Structure 1
């Protein structure tokens, strides 16, 4: 089993390793949770999470995933603090030193554009965002023999040693193809003038497109609803496929879009239309539920001339929910949307200016009350199962 031979690489973030481990686990036909538990713990590098698992052994593989989420969140907080520290350190530099850094920065390529669309983030970060969503083709094997590759370099796309992720030409081409198809717009660098696009296969000329000037998005007191809010969730209505779908929870804390099975079937779709994708969805309680599959549908938000339409890969889950769908980070990034629960609205750029979607307070509170009922029913069922028969 490939899981047994897996190891967390030096410098590899826990989030990246968990994602890589899960992808490998999903490819195994007869997945054994007990074997996965042992393989995961053996693969971890020494650190706080490994110590925690050794001190308090997990009861299930799902338990490991739930506990890993807490350490991943802490890891991200520490990364943000380190970045903030570097930024403060840069501000303290002598003016002449800053000018030297600026001159060096001008001559540095923006994430190694080299004929590809300039990006505002490392390709490794983009890969981590879209991994496991069937956006990318399976990479071709590395050409160099394994014994002649640089073992100090690791490519997350190939999941093998030989070159760094940022140097991977296949990954550059895959990301560029997605950009050309209208995806990953939030990762395209905002440059003045013209932006190079990948060469056409039938032409040696490089096509150029001009970047659009997007109006800055902001919120003010004039955007506040005409009623008092009580920390209500942002629940909107949008067009999904050919349907107007209500009860969509806007949740930046969710990494993926989730359409609940009852709503999926109610829209006239069939389970046979799903592509296979058994992705673990971990909730706040640490309990993992696996998706039934994945489907690609267009989502349209906004009204009149100020609308935005994107294609999304949406996971379908068979769990009780007061909502029909969750709009997560990947969808918000595709729309370039900014939600505000304080203002009970979401704004996003369009060709005709800033588009707006207002939250539905009545639906939000109905969903909240229904969610409480579902939770109580679930707890009552768990208690009933735990009580010994009389």
Structure 2
């Protein structure tokens, strides 16, 4: 091997090393709790740019693989049935009811300058929130969510970016869901009286 060739190979390896951007370490500290009401057990709700619009009340659900869009968001985005692709696998709601989706739509979800294409399953069911983003979105972007700190962090361009959650939205959604459930359940007060 000639010295010139060895030098060129070494230069190539060195330039490849310098071009690689190390993945920043993502973590949370006590400082990240500032601005949140503690202690709490609130879900994590964020505002995301979906399909070119800022969408509030998006639930970050790391326990689900299904990204869901509810009727209010469909109407807000002016989606029509013809915009949806067929999707015929039934879903089970939180209440245990089987729901047949209206279809599926692929939309860009933008966080700052990062964009991930997401397949949303469109359902015609009540929800106090507009959409759910789940593990596939989290993994595609490299998101690390923290309900305790009410934020998500993700790597982008060699730095850590964050999206701050909204506890007010989380509490509003919980109250809405509870009051809807109470209004839809038959009264059992006569049955419970002695």
Task: Report the counterpart of residue 70 of structure 2 in structure 1.
Answer: 260
- SS of the aligned residue for 1:368 comes to helix
Q: Does 1:301 align with 2:107?
A: no
Tell me the TM-score normalised to structure 2 length: 0.81
Bigger helix share: 1
Cα separation, 1, equivalents of 2:74 and 2:169: 19
Equivalent of residue 35 in structure 2, options 223, 226, 230: 226
User: 2:176 maps to what in 1?
Assistant: 370
Cα pair 2:104 2:122 within 8 Å, conserved: yes
Residue correspondence of structure 1 range 241-280 to structure 2 within 5 A: 241-280=51-90
Higher relative contact order (CA 8 A, sep 6+): 2
Equivalent-residue separation in structure 1 for 2:150 and 2:48 (angstroms): 15
| Structure 1, unpaired ranges of 5+ | 1-192, 195-209, 384-390
2:188 is the counterpart of 1:360 = no
2:98 is aligned to 288
SS at match of 2:25: coil
Instruction: Find the aligned partners of 1:377 and 1:352 in 2 and give their Cα distance.
Output: 50
Q: CA RMSD in A?
A: 2.1
Please list every run of 5 or more consecutive structure 2 residues that lacks an aligned counterpart in the other structure: 1-14, 188-194
Aligned partner (choices 9, 25, 35) of residue 216 of structure 1: 25
How many positions carry a matched residue from both structures?
A: 171
**Aligned-pair distance for 1:376?**
2.1
Preserved CA contact (<8 Å) 1:250 1:328: yes
Task: Give TM-score scaled by structure 1 length.
Answer: 0.41
